[in-house]
Amino acid sequence: MQRFFVTNVVDNWVVFTPEQAHQISAVLRMMPGQHVLALDNTGWEYEVELAAVEKKRVTAVILSKHLAANEPTSQLTLYLSLLKRDNFEWALQKGTEIGVTHFVPLITERTVARPPKKFDRWQRILTEAAEQSERGRIPALAAPVKLAPALAALPPQRPALIPWEKAVRNGLRDVLGDGETAVSLFIGPEGGFTKTEIEQAQQCGVQPITLGKRVLRAETAAIVAAALVLHELRDLE
């Protein structure tokens, strides 16, 4: 069943955006009487029956309401250094699919890419990936921030990890205790974090970890590390 995140739920009705109306009417060629799922981005999903299907306006009546079953139970915040456009957007998409709940674009010493003036494209990528992976919420997307302020604003009492190719002892199981439900994860840019940045992170309680013997590309490290963390949090079982 097709899934759409919506913002207009009133009484027993759902009104889709003009862009969604175009997709429903012109792309999917759906007709009144067919059913779709509407999600309100708070964890609830509604099975609805299309009532009026027009080119720029589609409305539907709510048939049932229930909690989305596939939303992660843990909270993983991915501090993702800005990468080249395609690589960064790929990491946003795949991170959403596996269960990242918050994204914070990160500006570091070796960051080459620059953030766009508008984040509509990034938000659209997150929304489409959340719909495709049958999530109940769209991951939160913060404004780009430099490393120092990001470290200073870390939530207390929450494990924070930073994969580093020179970390030789710490694996995830060494640093994540039982019962953890929220983790912050830092991923460096194409050139990696500098030694000074690693030291700054350590001073703020962030623990370097190893992802194994092989050196991974930044976007690969982001997904591998995120998946491993979610596995340790038992959110991929």
Q: What is the pLDDT of residues 37-78, one digit of tens each?
A: 999 999 999 999 999 999 999 999 999 999 998 899 999 999
What tokens does 55 get?
Answer: 């080119």
Q: How far apart are CA 45 and CA 221, in angstroms?
A: 32
Host domain of residue 20: 3-67
Domain identity same for 37 and 113: no
Q: What is the pLDDT of residues 164-208, one digit of tens each?
A: 988 877 777 778 877 789 999 999 999 999 999 999 999 999 999
Which CATH number does the domain housing residue 54 bear?
2.40.240.20
Q: How far apart are CA 109 and CA 147, in angstroms?
A: 9
Domain identity same for 24 and 108: no
Q: Does 146 reside within a domain?
A: yes
Domain identity same for 121 and 196: yes
Q: Does 119 reside within a domain?
A: yes
Which CATH number does the domain housing residue 122 bear?
3.40.1280.10
What tokens does 219 get?
Answer: 């976007």
Q: What is the DSSP letter of 122?
A: H
pLDDT score for 72:
92
Q: How far is CA 106 from CA 42, 46, 144, 205, in A?
A: 26, 35, 6, 18
pLDDT score for 115:
84
Q: Does 237 reside within a domain?
A: no
Domain end, chosen from 67, 92, 118, is at 67
Q: How far is CA 191 from CA 16, 56, 185, in A?
A: 43, 46, 17
Domain identity same for 163 and 140: yes
Enumerate residues 6+ apart whose C-beta is below 8 A from 96. Answer: 125, 126, 129, 130, 133, 135, 138, 139
Domain end, chosen from 18, 34, 67, is at 67
Q: How far is CA 83 from CA 12, 57, 67, 112, 170, in A?
A: 43, 37, 35, 7, 26
pLDDT band at 118 (very low <50, low <70, confident <90, very high): confident
Q: Does 182 reside within a domain?
A: yes
Tally the domains of the chain: 2
